[in-house]
Structure 1
Amino acid sequence: MGVEIEVNDLTKSFGKQLIWGDVSLTIPAGEICVMLGPSGTGKSVFLKTLIGLLKPDRGSIIIEGTDIASCSERELYEIRKLFGVLFQDGAMFGSMNLYDNIAFPLREHTKKSESEIRAIVMEKLDITGLIGTEHKLPGEISGGMRKRAGLARALVLDPEIVLFDEPDSGLDPVRTSFLNQLIVDLNAQIDATFLIVTHDINTARTVPDNIGLLYHKHLAMFGPREMLLSSEEPVVRQFLNAQKIGPIGMSEEKDADELAAESDQELPPLPPIPMQLEPSNGIARRSQREPGAWCREQGITPPPGSFEDNISMAPGA
């Protein structure tokens, strides 16, 4: 089962440039969360800070009682064993075949025998649909297969937290759909805590249990998927519905003249909230809630057509 990540008042700068400040959220154990935001808002920096690759200016990140923002290197090393990371490009060693790439963390961090390593590697290859490709080099396979190989490597140490840094980057919509289904199936199988950084709106609308949005150097909102998909908050509504009207512009934030020119325009109606993607076997994940449950609990009427199997998943539909 995954572990909870508690983030309190986290702030990160590079020199005089503030990336984001006073970010506070709790990533629930075993759930799938997505972090969104316009380009350049520090989403990847957030992931690197969570795993201790970057030190925040202030704030805390509590994982199993340890604040990794201020702990010793020895404590950080132990906490990092809880993590698996899928990098944007897979980050495979080009001179190693897939088998050796995936076996690498086991050989570096455990004392397992080669027979034990082989059993684990073949299991992860099977989970990610890569059986039969283990002798290929990363340059001999497609981008989608490299992503899956990177995911297999992220899973070999049986992590309780898995971070995905733009897993859909460079993939076509069909491969992205396959990858999204794989992520949901994996969460159901291993019950780890998943955090996905993505720009893909369909992924954000259909995959996670919770959604966060980084914008203008702060966390605009974080909460259950239905909360953000029914939100009237302009920046959330604009981003999740892929609209031009709203506070986000080409350079992140629109200036006063641009906003004034839009003053007589209204954001289009919220599109229907789609059904959440379910595991392939049809058995609900532990953290999966009944469609519309959050809206009913909050007394909120979802947009017309929400939670219907046959609605279009496209933004603005």
Structure 2
Amino acid sequence: MGVEIQIDQLTKSFGKQLIWGDVTLTVPAGEICVMLGPSGTGKSVLLKTLIGLLKPDKGSVVIEGTDIASCPEKDLYEIRKLFGVLFQDGAMFGSMNLYDNVAFPLREHTRKTESEVRDVVMEKMDLVGLIGAEDKLPGEISGGMRKRAGLARALVLDPQIVLFDEPDSGLDPVRTSFLNQLIIDLNAQTDATFLIVTHDINTARTVPDNIGLLYHKHLAMFGPREMLLSSEEPVVRQFLNAQRVGPIGMSEEKDADELAAEQGQDLPPLPPIPLQQEPSNGIPRRGQRPPGEWCRENGVTPPDGSFESTNAGIAV
């Protein structure tokens, strides 16, 4: 069962450089959330702050009643046991084979026998499709396999919160699609709380229950997937629909001349909201809502063609 993460007025700077300020949101227990934002907006910094690797300048991160931004080191050590983390490059130990990489957290943080460790490791490697690759070194396998090995390692302690730092980076679209399905299925099986940092718009539009967007040193918006995918907020609309017209430019913000040149341009219509990706077994996850429910509850008319599927069952 996942746990809730309450983030309040979180602010982080490096020297005089403000990364983001007054970030406030609640990551719901057991749901899948995606955090988006242009490059350099501090998405990975946010993940590192949530697990206590970085201390915020102010604000709080409360998990099960403990504020990890100000708690003693011994309490932080215990809270970290609730987390599993998939780093961008997998963060494998290059001199260890995949089996020992995945077993590492169990040997460090539990008193399990080697027989018990083996049972858990093989279960998680089977879960991510790596049975038969246990003896391979990280340098002998593809980037996609390293991602899956990193995910197996993140899951061996049965975490209640799993953080994914750009899990799709360096992967081709097909592998990204397989990884997204694996994430959906794992959430359905574990009911853990998932927070994914990504730049992949297709992932953001089809996988999560909630979406957040970091922009211009603040949290521009956070809420249910349908809320953001139907939003007319310029920065949200531009980013989630990969449009050139809007406040985001090559250097994050467009200058006055660029914005003036866009005045009077007609924005393309919002694309249809796709169906949310479902678990392989077809049984809805706990955090999954019926298609269009948020729009109906809030009196929002979704873009034409929303929540439809083709004969092949692929959302359009």
Q: TM-score, normalised to structure 1's length?
A: 0.98
1:91-149 CA distance string (max 9 Å, x none): 00111110000000000111110000000000000110111111111111111010000
The alignment covers a number of residue pairs equal to 315
1:117 corresponds in structure 2 to 117
**Structure 1 residues 5-31: Cα deviation after superposition (integer angstroms, max 9, x where no partner):** 000000000000000000000000000
Report whether the alignment pairs 1:76 with 2:76.
yes
Superposed displacement of residue 309, structure 1: 1.2
Are the counterparts in 2 of residues 164 and 196 from structure 1 also a CA contact under 8 Å?
Answer: yes
Q: Is the contact made by 1:202 and 1:313 (CA closer than 8 Å) also made in structure 2?
A: no
Q: State how far apart, in whole Å, the 1-side matches of 2:23 and 2:203 are.
A: 23
Q: Distance in 2 between matches of 1:198 and 1:174?
A: 16
- Determine the C-alpha separation between the residues in 1 that align with 2:311 and 2:69: 44
Which letter maps to 2:256? A
**8 A Cα contact 1:92 1:150, kept in partner:** yes
CA distance in 1, matches of 2:32, 2:14: 29
Whether the aligned pair in 2 keeps the contact of 1:274 and 1:311 (CA below 8 Å) is no
Q: Give the match for residue 296 of structure 1.
A: 296
> Alignment partner of 2:276: what SS?
coil
Gaps of 5+ in 1: none
2:256 corresponding residue in structure 1:
256
Structure 2 CA distance for aligned equivalents of residues 214 and 266 of structure 1: 25
State the SS of the aligned residue for 1:171.
coil
The one-letter amino acid paired with 2:218 is: H
Residue 127 of structure 2 aligns to which amino acid in structure 1?
I
1:56-95 aligned within 5 A: 56-95=56-95
Label 1:155 to 1:251 Cα distance change in 2 as closer, same or farther (>3 A): same
Q: Which SS does the other structure have where 2:153 is aligned?
A: helix
Provide the alpha-carbon RMSD of the alignment.
1.4
Q: Is the counterpart of residue 278 in structure 1 residue 278 in structure 2? A: yes
In the alignment, does 2:165 pair up with 1:165? yes
Tell whether 2:205 aligns with 1:223. no
Long gaps (5+) in structure 2: none
Q: Percent identity?
A: 85
- Tell me the amino acid that sits aligned with residue 60 of structure 1: S
Aligned position for 2:200: 200
Under a length normalisation based on structure 2, what TM-score does the superposition of the two structures give?
A: 0.98
What secondary structure does 2:132 align onto?
coil
In structure 2, the CA distance between the partners of 1:80 and 1:311, relative to structure 1 (3 Å rule), is farther
- After superposition, residues 123-202 of structure 1 pair within 5 angstroms as 123-202=123-202
Q: For residues 256 and 127 of structure 2, what CA distance do their matches in structure 1 show?
A: 51
Shift of 1:183: 0.1
* SS in structure 2 of the partner of residue 129 of structure 1: coil
CA distance in 2, matches of 1:28, 1:186: 17
The 2-side partners of 1:267 and 1:117 are apart by: 56
Residue 52 of structure 1 contacts residue 76 of structure 1 at CA under 8 Å; is this kept in 2?
Answer: yes
Q: Is the contact between residue 209 and residue 287 of structure 1 (CA under 8 Å) also seen in structure 2? A: yes
TM superposition shift of 1:287? 1.0
> Aligned-pair distance for 1:310?
2.1
Counterpart of 1:155, as a letter, is L
**Conserved 8 A contact 1:3-1:193:** yes
